[in-house]
Amino acid sequence: MNGSESIVEVKNLTITDSATDRVIASNISFELKKGEILGFVGESGSGKTLSMKTVVNLLPSNLAAKSDKFIVLGNDYNEISENAKKALIGKNIGLVPQNTVFYLHPMFKIKNQIADGYMLYNKKKKSEGIERAKEKLRIVGFKDPDRILESYPWQLSGGMRQRVNIALALMNDPQIIIADEPTTALDSTLQAQVLDLFKSINEKTGVSIVIISHDLGVIRKYCHRIAVMYAGQILESAPADEIFENARHPYTKALIRVIPSLNIKKDERLMEIPGFVPEKNRERKECIFKKRCSEADERCNGDVKEGIEGLHYCKCSKYCGGEV
C-alpha cells in the first residue's frame, strides 16, 4: 500500500433532503489513499450508501450535497462541470452497487450493456469491448463468459448478477472501486472468493477500494482502515488493527461485541445494541449516540468533543476529547 497519496479527500460533507430539509448526513470527512482498502461500517440508515453516492455523482435528485472540500483524483467536485465529473467517474471509478436487481437493464442481454462505458470512455469498438468483458467475467469466476454475455439479467441468480456487476466495475481498470455491500447476495464460499478477488486486484494494481459492509468481520479481514458511521456521522476512524485492539467510541465497542465470529461463543446469545438510529436532528452538536450509549454520563452533556491521535479519529466527549 502506498499510503500517502490522497485519491479522495472530503471535508464536512452534508447531505440534505431538499424537500423536507432533513439532514441525512452531516460533517462527513474522510480520505481515501492510493492503494488502500477503506471500510465503512455502521447500522442500516447511517448514510454509508449516500455518502459514497456523492463520490460517483449518483445522489437521488431530491438530495443535495454540500462540502468544504471534495477532491477526487485531483479534481475539485465543487468547481468542475457535471460533464467533467461524469467523464472522470466513468473512466476512473468502478461502482459495485448495493442493489443488484435494478442496476443491470432487464431488457438487454449482458453483452449489450457490459461494454458500454468501456466503449464510450475509451473510444473502443464493440468487438474490443466484448473481448475485454470476457476477460473480466473470467476474473470474477465465470468459466463460460460467452453464455453469460448471451443472457438477460433476469436469467441469472443474484450471486451471478453481482459478479457481472463486479466485472462491469472492472471494465475500465479503474483507480477507485466502490463496493457497496458487495457480498450480501452471495453464499459464504462466493463471499470469500469475491472479497479475496478485491484484495488481489488491490495488491496487483494498487487500485484504491471502498468496501461498505454491515459485517465488521469482513471489514476487519479485508480493510486497511475503517470508518464507523452512525446516524449520518463518522464517529471513529483508524487503521483496522487499531480499531479492533483499541476502539475508543462506545458505539464501535458495542459493534465489536456483537460480531459473533469474533467474541461470542457458539451457544451464547448474540448481544444487540438497544434502541434505534435517530432519523431527526442528525446535524445536532451534542453526541448523536448519547441516548443509546450505556456509558453516557455528565461529561456527555453539551457539544460533543472530537479528538485525533496519530491516525485515530474519534468523536466522543468521554473517551476522545482533544484536538482535531
User: In one letter, which amino acid is 231?
Assistant: A
Question: What is the per-residue DSSP string for 151-165?
Answer: S-GGGS-HHHHHHHH
The CB density around residue 274, as the number of other CB atoms within 10 Å, is 8
The C-alpha cell 468487438 sits at 127
User: Which one of Mg ion, ligand ATP, none interacts with residue 318, CB within 5 to 8 A by kind?
Assistant: none
For the chain, what's the residue count?
324
Shortest spacing between CB 136 and ligand ATP, in angstroms: 26
Query: Which residues lie near Mg ion (CB under 5 A)?
Result: 49, 98
What is the pairing mode between strands 312-315 and 306-309? antiparallel
Which residue, 13 or 133, has its beta carbon nearer to Mg ion? 13
Q: Of 109 and 214, which CB lies nearer to ligand ATP in the complex structure?
A: 214
Supply the minimum distance, in Å, between the C-beta of residue 193 and ligand ATP. Answer: 22
Least CB distance to Mg ion at residue 107 (A): 26
Residue 131 contact among ligand ATP, Mg ion, none, beta carbon within 5 to 8 Å by kind: none
Q: Between vectors from CA 113 to CA 151 and to CA 195, what angle results, nearest 5°?
A: 80
Residue among 178 and 243 whose Cβ is closer to ligand ATP: 178
Ordered DSSP codes for 135-198: HHHHHTT-S-HHHHHTS-GGGS-HHHHHHHHHHHHHTT--SEEEEESTTTTS-HHHHHHHHHHH
Toward ligand ATP, which CB reaches closer, 137 or 229? 229
How far from chain centre, in Å, is Cα 101?
Answer: 18
With respect to ligand ATP, which residue has the nearer C-beta, 24 or 254? 24
**Residues forming the site for ligand ATP (CB under 6 A):** 17, 24, 42, 44-50, 60, 62-63, 98, 214, 279
The answer to whether the CB of 63 falls within 8 A of the CB of 18 is yes
Q: How far is the CB of 89 from ligand ATP (least distance, A)?
A: 18
Query: Position of cell 484504491?
Result: 208
Q: Residue 185 touches which of ligand ATP, Mg ion, none (CB < 5 to 8 A by kind)? A: none
CB 246 within 8 A of CB 309: no
CB contact at 8 A, 23 and 16: yes
* Beta strand pairing call for 6-17 and 63-66: antiparallel
CB of 180 to Mg ion, least distance (A): 6
Q: Between 45 and 141, whose beta carbon lies closer to ligand ATP?
A: 45
Q: How far is the CB of 279 from ligand ATP (least distance, A)?
A: 6
Among ligand ATP, Mg ion, none, residue 109 binds (CB under 5-8 Å by kind):
none
